[in-house]
């Protein structure tokens, strides 16, 4: 019996179908929790369904997608999301690389403890982080108190309640929490950079910025690509920090695409508009896919692949 079983396994392993047998158990879950919701959401984007009865799904063609670019709140949310993605990518990557560079090449005492401290906010729940920062940024919070003690009372404001700063405070909180994640990725990448190349560049007269630009960055291209793609996806999907910190207010000034999609689908008063919310989700998916694809393709072209 064992010989027959071993013979059967041996023949199976020689077959090209064999590797796919390992993924068979998860296929039903992928279909149930990814493909079905995605396809259903795509279909709903062409309807005006309120989420109450399946029998009341009315197909309206591309009206929802036309409405997107006529919707003032959606355009505000789109602008805020693009601003959020752009600033978080720039600030988080610069800070993450600087931290990683100092920890790797700075010969700092207790570098592993500094690494743990910088990374610590990443493991906190975004909602908890947002609630803590709501207290810090409140009218009676620590920021205003510090400004008052150093004689800058004129700068005191309701950081989450005026018409200028809320979206920037959301960006600040997100950067504070997630920079440590980028630092860890950069730090892992720096460990693969040969020290001999850096020493050779310094002997040839290159300064620190030339070493970083001409030696380190080219070798970190795969890591930078991963970080940028993850930053793009995470930035456009941001929800919990915004929802817990500002609820998209005041007057939708810190609204992002995900929060607006949530409020559209699950209306506080009256039935929601699942059809319109689904069109927002499809639009968001297309943006993420296109930007991620362009970044990966650009990286491959740089590498000459």
Q: Which residue has the higher pLDDT, 66 or 273?
A: 66
CA distance 85 to 171: 9
Please compute the mean of the pLDDT values over residues 251-280 and round it to a whole number: 85
The predicted-structure confidence for 89-104, as pLDDT tens digits, reads as follows 999 999 999 999 998 8
Axis-axis angle for helices 166-190, 111-119 (nearest 10):
140
Quote the pLDDT of residue 1: 54
How many Å is the Cα radius of gyration of the chain? 25
pTM: 0.86
Q: Which residue has the higher pLDDT, 111 or 79?
A: 79
Tell me if 148 sits within 8 A of 154, measured CB to CB: no
Quote the pLDDT of residue 181: 93
The pLDDT of residue 161 is above 90:
no
CA distance 59 to 273: 13
Domain segments of the chain as ranges: 71-303
Mean pLDDT of the chain: 86
- The candidate with the shortest Cα–Cα distance to 251, out of 132, 77, 81, is 77
Q: Which residue has the higher pLDDT, 201 or 295?
A: 201
71-303: CATH, from 3.40.50.1100, 3.30.70.2190, 3.40.50.880, 1.10.3720.10: 1.10.3720.10
């Amino acid at each position: 019996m064992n010989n027959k079983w071993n013979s059967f396994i041996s023949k199976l392993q020689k077959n090209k179908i064999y590797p796919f047998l390992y993924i068979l158990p998860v296929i039903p879950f992928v279909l149930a929790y990814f493909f079905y919701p995605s396809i259903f959401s795509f279909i709903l984007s062409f309807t005006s369904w309120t989420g109450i009865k399946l029998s009341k799904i009315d197909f309206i063609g591309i009206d929802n997608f036309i409405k997107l670019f006529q919707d003032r709140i959606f355009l505000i949310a789109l602008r805020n999301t693009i601003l959020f993605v752009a600033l978080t990518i720039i600030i988080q990557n610069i800070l993450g690389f600087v931290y990683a560079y100092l920890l790797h090449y700075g010969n700092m005492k207790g570098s592993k403890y500094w690494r743990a401290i910088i990374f610590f906010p990443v493991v906190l729940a975004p909602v908890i982080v947002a609630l803590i920062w709501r207290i810090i940024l409140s009218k009676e919070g620590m920021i205003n108190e510090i400004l008052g003690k150093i004689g800058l009372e004129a700068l005191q404001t309701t950081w989450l309640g005026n018409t200028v700063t809320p979206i920037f405070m959301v960006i600040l909180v997100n950067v504070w929490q997630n920079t440590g994640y980028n630092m860890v990725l950069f730090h892992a990448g720096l460990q693969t950079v040969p020290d001999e190349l850096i020493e050779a560049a310094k002997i040839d007269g290159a300064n620190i910025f030339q070493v970083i630009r001409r030696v380190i960055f080219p070798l970190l291209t795969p890591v930078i690509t991963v970080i940028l793609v993850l930053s793009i996806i995470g930035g456009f999907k941001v929800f919990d920090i915004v929802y817990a910190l500002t609820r998209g207010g005041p007057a939708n000034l810190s609204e992002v695409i995900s929060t607006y999609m949530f409020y559209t689908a699950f209306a506080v008063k009256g039935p929601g508009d699942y059809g319109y919310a689904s069109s927002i989700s499809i639009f968001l998916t297309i943006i993420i896919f296109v930007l991620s694809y362009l970044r990966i393709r650009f990286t491959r072209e740089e590498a000459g692949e």
